[in-house]
Amino acid sequence: MSTAKPLAIEARGLRKSYGDSTVLDGVDLAVPEGTIFSLLGPNGAGKTTTVNILSTLIGADGGEAFVGGRDVARDADRVREAIGVTGQFAAVDKLLTGAENLHLMGRLHHLGRRETRRRAAELLEQFDLVGAAGRLPSTYSGGMKRRLDLAMSLMGEPRVIFLDEPTTGLDPRTRRTMWTIIRELVAGGVTIFLTTQYLEEADQLADRIAVLDGGRIVAEGSAEELKRLVPGGHVSLRLHRLDQLEKAANLLGATASDPEQLTVQVPGDGSVASLRSLIEALDGESIEVEDLTIRTPDLDDVFLALTGRPEHRKESTR
Ligand SMILES: Nc1ncnc2c1ncn2[C@@H]1O[C@H](COP(=O)(O)OP(=O)(O)OP(=O)(O)O)[C@@H](O)[C@H]1O
Ligand SMILES: [Mg+2]
């Protein structure tokens, strides 16, 4: 892990309960500047609660958290100046037009009239909202509302941005537009804290991913590291001759074979070295391979394997 970059977000032992239900049960986070961090977890895991604590909207019951080096509890005003938040539910004022909403944010950030106009025009352009700028957000599509919401959070040129499910309900093309915008922000040095229900989104965007379940981080790492945690990777080889199937299966330690498809399944990561040794072993016995497919576990496999197990649930509610 790189230690060179200072941390944009740091949390230690965060705790939060509502009544006797424990939502966060000691959460540690460390997000280096200029990176994308994604928090995953099932519905109700506490992702929005974590975002709300880090963005100073609610207080934690225990632990401590720093954003941009400032304590979210003791220095909330300074934290707010440095961050942008795009909520799970758009925080757009329905009585103001798109442009007026941006101008309002400019005033809230004390940008001054000229700078407010300049930035609003720039963001309307960037987010493809120029034509809709004079209309009320109630006339916008879901994707346009999301884009306006994100544009609003960018008015103050935040260094750290919290995106709570920014692409939920967006069509695949609009989602990709959002990804491009997010990547551009990070290229400019901004730090992104992202929650998402779309594991492919975390896979595509995040430098590091943490999985929250039962009030705790149950796994953390790059997408590749997390995928290595779960079994499921295998290579499927299709042979040329049925009478060689059993021999091949024994030779390779196959976990399954299918006489109809002429395939044998071998656990493995699909690396070039492992494929070469499989083929060489078969070659040595003059067993011909017709073709092969590699299946690597995806983040869905990781999510299903790591979350929602009963033992986690019990811990969190007792
Ligand atoms: N103000 C509140 N009062 C009581 N319970 C709350 C409150 N806010 C959140 N909770 C509870 O805390 C738990 C975590 O909620 P949170 O919204 O953080 O989950 P989430 O991970 O964001 O879920 P989702 O994926 O559905 O958005 C839930 O059980 C929720 O009911
Ligand atoms: Mg949520």
pLDDT 10s digits, 171-207: 888 888 889 999 999 999 999 999 988 888 999 999 9
At 61 the pLDDT is 98
Q: How far is the CA of 196 from the centre of ligand 1 (A)?
A: 15
Share of the chain above pLDDT 90, in %: 67
Average pLDDT, the chain: 89
Ligand 1 atom nearest to 52, measured from its CA? 18
Q: Establish whether domains 7-227 and 234-296 are of one fold.
A: no
Average pLDDT over residues 312-317: 41
Q: What is the pLDDT of residues 62-91, one digit of tens each?
A: 999 999 999 999 999 999 989 988 865 556
Q: What is the pLDDT of residues 268-302, one digit of tens each?
A: 877 889 899 999 999 999 999 999 998 888 888 88
Q: How far is the CA of 68 from the centre of ligand 1 (A)?
A: 25
Q: How far is the CA of 270 from the centre of ligand 2 (A)?
A: 36
Q: Look up residue 293 and give its two tokens.
A: 């497919």
Instruction: Assess whether pLDDT exceeds 70 at residue 158.
Output: yes
pTM above 0.85, yes or no: no
Largest Cα–Cα separation, the chain? 81
Instruction: Assess whether pLDDT exceeds 50 at residue 262.
Output: yes
Average pLDDT over residues 133-157: 91
Name which residue leads in pLDDT, 245 or 306: 245
Taking the domain 7-227, which CATH number applies? Answer: 3.40.50.300
Pocket of ligand 1 (CB under 6 A): 18, 23, 41, 43-49, 88
Instruction: Assess whether pLDDT exceeds 50 at residue 46.
Output: yes
Which stretches of the chain are assigned E, i.e. beta strand? 7-18, 21-32, 36-40, 62-67, 70-71, 83-86, 160-164, 191-195, 208-213, 216-221, 234-239, 256-258, 263-267, 289-295
CATH architecture, domain 234-296 = 2-Layer Sandwich (3.30)
Ligand 1: which of 14, 22, 25, 47 to mutate, judged by most atoms within 8 Å of the beta carbon? 47
Domain-wise residue ranges, the chain: 7-227, 234-296
At 302 the pLDDT is 83
